[in-house]
Structure 1
Amino acid sequence: MSHGTHNAVHDPRNDNIRIYINGELFPRDEARISVFDSGYLVGDGVWEALRLHDGVLVFLDDHLDRLWQGAAAIGMDIGMTREELTQKIWQTLDANEMHDHVHVRIMLTRGIKKTPSQDPRLTVSGPNLVIIPEYKKASPETASKGIRLFTSTIRRGSPDYLDPRLNCHSKLHEVQALIQAQEAGADEALMLDIHGFVSTCNATNFFMVKHGEVWTSTGQYCMNGITRGKVIEVCHENGIPCLERNFSLFDVYGADEAFVTGSFGGLTPVTHVDGRTISDTVPGEMTRRLRKLYKESIAREIQKSNAGG
C-alpha cells in the first residue's frame, strides 16, 4: 500500500455511499458522468474538499470563498448561491446518514460539450456538480511515522499562466511531480517556485521550523490552503513566530523540524527531504504543539456552529 498524507483507515461503509450528481443521488458503483464533460475533456472546472466533524462542516465559509474565487478566476458561473450549494451538501450527507469523520469532495465543471473542444462556447449544459462524501479517518500510522519528500524538477507555475492558488481540475503537473518523487523512493513531492525557492508539495503545503520560528512560503506560488491559513493564524494567536518568506533547500536541509498541512491529514510530520534526515523525533516538539492548537481551532469552530454563531 502507498504511504502518504492521504492514507485513510479502511471503512467498509464507503462501499455503499450515495453520490450526488446534478440533483440525483446514485449508489457508488452507478455514479456516472458524460464523456463530454468539460472536466473530463480538458480539466475545465474547480473543486473543494472539506471535513465533517461532529455534525459540522468545518471552516465551510473559507472553503466556499475559495470555490467561488476559483470559479470567478476561470470565468465560470456556478449557477447557484452559496446557500443552495450548502443545502445540496447537507442533502448528500443526510442521505448517507453521515455525522463525523467524513471527507466531502465537491467538483464543479463548466458542463457538457457538444463536441470535444476547449471552447467554452460549445458547452450545451449548465455546470455539472458532483458531491462525493466518504468516511475517511487519516491513518494514525502516517501521523506517527511521518512522510519522506523528494524535491521534484517540476516547478510550481507562474500566476500569469496557471496561478498555483487555483483549485482547478488541471492537476497534471502535480501528478508528474508525485510520480517523480515516488520513483525516487519518497512518499510525496516537494516543489519549488519559478525562482528556485521552496513553494509547496504536490498535494499539501510545506512548513519548516528553525530556532523556534515557523517558516512557510510567501504564498505567491503555493496552493491557497485553508489548513495552511489556520496554522499561520494559530501561530499569531499564540505568540509563535511564523514567517511567510522566501527560503531555499539550503534552509530546509538545516531545519529542526518540518511538516505539511492539508484539510484531510491536518499536520503531518516530514522526516526526510531528498534523503536527508530532518528530525528523528516524530512529530517534533513544534509540530506536536501546532497540531494541538489546530485541533483546538476545529473544536472552537464546532462549538461556535452548535451555538448558532
Structure 2
Amino acid sequence: MIDQALTTHDALEDPRNAEILIYVNGALVPRDEAKVSVYDSGFMLGDGMWEGLRLYDGVWAYFDEHMDRFFEACKAVSLDVGMDRSGILDALEKTRAANNMHADVHCRLMVTRGPKVRPFQHPSLSRSGPTMVIIMEHSKPVDKLKDAGIRLATVPQVRGLPMAQDAKYNSHSKLNCVIACLQAEQAGADEGLMLDPHGFVNTTNACNFFVVRKGAVWTSTGDYCMNGVTRAKVISLCQANGIPVFERNFSLVEAYGAEEAFLTGTFGAQTPVASIDGKPIGDGTRPVTARIQALYKKAIAEHVAAVSGA
C-alpha cells in the first residue's frame, strides 16, 4: 500500500473558503464568479508575476521583503503593476477585511500584463493595463507535514541557467516546476528535488532545500533558486544564533548522508524531509530543524508585535 502523497502546501479543509471574496482589478467578487479574460496575457502565455504572503495576527509577514522581490521581478520584465506597494497593501487589507480574516491565512497576489487585443505573444498587444487578482484562503498546514515529513525524488528536470528563465522570477510561467512535480509523483514521491545545470542539489519544485550535516546547515549557492524570503530568514537566524550555515554546492551523496533535511517556504515555514529517492534522512529526531522552527516562530511573533505596535 502506497502512503497518500503530501505536498508542502497541504492545508486543513476549511468550509469558509467556499464563500471567500476574491479581488479582481479593484472589485471584490464571490469565488465562483471571479474571472479574467481568455485573452489575458497570464492565461495565454504565463506572462505575469505573483507573490505568496502569509497573515499572522493581522500582519502580513515580511511584507517589505516580499514587495522588494515582487517589484524587482516586475521591473525586470517591464511589467507595470499599476500601483505602488502602499496601494498593494491597501488592496490586501481591503480583501482581508471583506473576508473577515485575521490569522492562518495564505494569500496569492497575481499581476499579469493584462488582456491582449489579439491572441499572440508580443507584449505590445497588451494595451489596457495590468490584471491584478488577490486570492486569500483560510489555510493552516496539516499536522502530518510536521510529523511525517515530505518524500522527495530527484528528477531529471533541472533549474536552468538564468539566460533561459531565471529562477529569480516568481512568474506565472511555472511549467518547469510542474514537470518536475509530475516526475516526482510518477516516481512515487511527494515533490521533486531539482538539480542545477552542473548536477548540484538545488531546490524542490515548490520550496527551497536545506540539509543538516554534523550540526551545520547547508543550502545551495542560490544561483539557480528562487530568492526565497523564508530561505533568507532561516540563513540569518542561523547566523544570529550560533548555528553554522553555508551556501555552497553539494551533491546528492551529501544530501543522502545528511542527518536532517527540510524545506522552506512562506506557507509551511520549515517542512521536514523524510526521505530522498527512498533513502531515509537521519533517524527522524531532527533537533536542528526543531530549533530553527522555534527560532522562526519567535522571529515571526517579534515581527508581528513590531508592525502592529503590540
**TM alignment of 1:1-309, pairs within 5 A:** 2-282=5-285, 284-307=286-309
CA distance in 2, matches of 1:289, 1:46: 33
**Alpha-carbon distance, 1:165 to partner:** 1.3
**Alpha-carbon distance, 1:280 to partner:** 2.9
**Alpha-carbon distance, 1:253 to partner:** 1.1
CA distance in 1, matches of 2:55, 2:234: 19
**Alpha-carbon distance, 1:208 to partner:** 0.2
SS at 1:70 equivalent: helix
CA distance in 2, matches of 1:129, 1:34: 12
**Alpha-carbon distance, 1:75 to partner:** 1.2
Give the aligned CA root-mean-square deviation in angstroms.
0.9
SS at 1:280 equivalent: coil
**Alpha-carbon distance, 1:3 to partner:** 1.0
How many residues were matched structurally?
A: 307
Q: Structure 2, unaligned stretches of length 5 or more?
A: none
Give CA deviations for 1:111-170 in whole Å, capped at 9, x if unaligned.
100111110111121100000010000111111110110001001010112111110000
Q: Is the 8 A contact 1:152 1:177 kept in 2?
A: yes
**Alpha-carbon distance, 1:85 to partner:** 1.1
Q: Which amino acid aligns with 2:302?
A: R
CA distance in 1, matches of 2:222, 2:240: 20
Q: Is the 8 A contact 2:259 2:283 kept in 1?
A: no
Q: Which amino acid aligns with 1:87?
A: D
Q: Is the 8 A contact 2:181 2:191 kept in 1?
A: yes
CA distance in 2, matches of 1:279, 1:149: 14
SS at 2:129 equivalent: coil
Q: Is the 8 A contact 1:207 1:215 kept in 2?
A: yes
Q: Is the 8 A contact 1:271 1:280 kept in 2?
A: no
Q: Percent identity?
A: 51
**Alpha-carbon distance, 1:224 to partner:** 1.1
Q: Which amino acid aligns with 1:156?
A: R
Q: Is the 8 A contact 1:197 1:249 kept in 2?
A: yes
**Alpha-carbon distance, 1:63 to partner:** 0.6
Q: Is the 8 A contact 1:152 1:190 kept in 2?
A: yes
SS at 1:221 equivalent: coil
SS at 2:233 equivalent: helix
Q: Is the 8 A contact 1:18 1:95 kept in 2?
A: yes
CA distance in 2, matches of 1:249, 1:170: 27
**Alpha-carbon distance, 1:171 to partner:** 0.4
Q: Which amino acid aligns with 2:308?
A: N
Give CA deviations for 1:184-241 in whole Å, capped at 9, x if unaligned.
0000000000011111100000000000100000000011111101000100010110
Q: Is the 8 A contact 1:150 1:189 kept in 2?
A: yes
